[in-house]
Amino acid sequence: MGNYSVEEYLKITLKPYVLFHPKFFEDFSDLVSRGKDSAEVCKKILEKIFAIKNLGDIKCGVKWLEELKYEDNMYSLHIKSKTYNYRILLSVTDDKKIFLHMFYERDGKRSTGYGPHIQIAKKRKEEYGGNINEQ
């Protein structure tokens, strides 16, 4: 990545096929920088973001990418190990994948369920107003 931050690197490398809501990187930084497994998490996230970029059909059935049943055009990317369980909510418009929100999900904990996080992702999606412009 050279002298670039993760945010700059991803924006440069993945543009125009993958876009990121500006607050997505705040979520990412807040969550990943606090964990002891931050290098491993970052590597897994990057691998999956690049894999998503290359997916022709996002509904291809990979285990780590779930279409949310009761939400229109909303997907959950899973980054999980024995010590962490992150979710990234994203949407697809035309040929662009839009990363909206990242959160930590604790197994069996209602307080970290999808509900409030879906609302955040929906609001961020609405901020685009349906038009996905270059960042």
pTM for the model: 0.84
Residue 127 to residue 91: CA distance in whole angstroms? 13
Full pLDDT tens readout for the chain, 135 residues: 567 777 788 888 888 788 889 899 899 888 887 767 788 888 888 888 888 888 777 777 788 999 998 888 899 999 988 888 889 999 988 778 899 999 988 765 555 578 899 999 999 998 876 554 444
Where are the chain's structural domains?
A: 6-127
pLDDT the model gives residue 75: 93
pLDDT the model gives residue 31: 85
Report residue 11: phi and psi, to 5°.
Answer: -65, -40
Amino acid identity, position 8: E
pLDDT the model gives residue 135: 44
Q: What is the architecture, at CATH level 2, of domain 6-127? A: 2-Layer Sandwich (3.30)
Give rounded-to-5 percent helix, strand, coil for the chain.
40, 20, 40
pLDDT the model gives residue 109: 54
pLDDT the model gives residue 129: 60
Q: What is the DSSP string of 37-61?
A: THHHHHHHHHHHHHHHHH-S-TTS-
Residue 86 to residue 105: CA distance in whole angstroms? 6
